[in-house]
């Protein structure tokens, strides 16, 4: 059963446009079949001791501004899911852009100090203004 702020969705044939589905049996069946047969991974990279992944969730979660956020970028340090941070986005473009920028910042930090691992600064690690600019929603670490 879906929560009141959740809507099942799939991606259109272009692989980027979100298509909301009904919450009836037909919508759920279409969603389940789509999720079972499509790759939801947008991008992923491992840099030093960090794993960065951006995916299509298949569920639009309504953020505090009432916008659906079906895309998520997750940063996992040292393979420790309990310390993961994530950001949610309303569009494929915003999610892909954030992923590319964040991955670039990780690579640059890693190149400067490859033996010490990567230290993620506050601007990339959760400054709300940066996330809001992209339509993302900050969240507590998972």
**Which has more confidence, 119 or 123?**
119
What is the band of 140 on the pLDDT scale with cuts at 50, 70, 90?
A: very low
pTM: 0.75
Provide the 3-class DSSP secondary structure of residue 78.
coil
- How many CB atoms lie under 10 A from the CB of residue 40? 16
| Rounded Cα gap, residues 131 and 87, in angstroms | 7
pLDDT tens, position by position, 46-57? 998 899 999 999
Tally of helices (H runs) and strands (E runs) in the chain: 3, 7
pLDDT tens, position by position, 67-117? 789 999 999 988 787 888 999 999 999 999 999 999 999 998 888 766 655
Whole-number pLDDT of residue 135 = 40
| Rounded Cα gap, residues 121 and 38, in angstroms | 34
């Amino acid at each position: 059963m879906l929560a009141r702020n959740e809507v099942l969705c799939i991606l259109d044939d272009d692989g980027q446009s979100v298509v909301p589905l009904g919450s009836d049996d037909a919508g759920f069946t279409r969603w389940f079949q789509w999720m079972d047969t499509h790759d939801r991974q947008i991008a992923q990279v491992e840099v030093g001791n960090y794993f960065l992944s951006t995916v299509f969730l298949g569920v639009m979660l309504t953020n505090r501004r009432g916008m659906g956020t079906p895309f998520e970028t997750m940063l996992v340090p040292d393979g420790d899911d309990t310390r993961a941070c994530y950001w949610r986005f309303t569009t494929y473009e915003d999610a892909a852009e954030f992923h590319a920028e964040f991955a670039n910042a990780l690579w640059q930090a890693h190149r400067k100090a490859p033996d010490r691992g990567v230290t993620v600064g506050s601007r990339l690690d959760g400054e709300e203004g940066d996330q809001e600019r992209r339509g993302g929603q900050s969240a507590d670490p998972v």
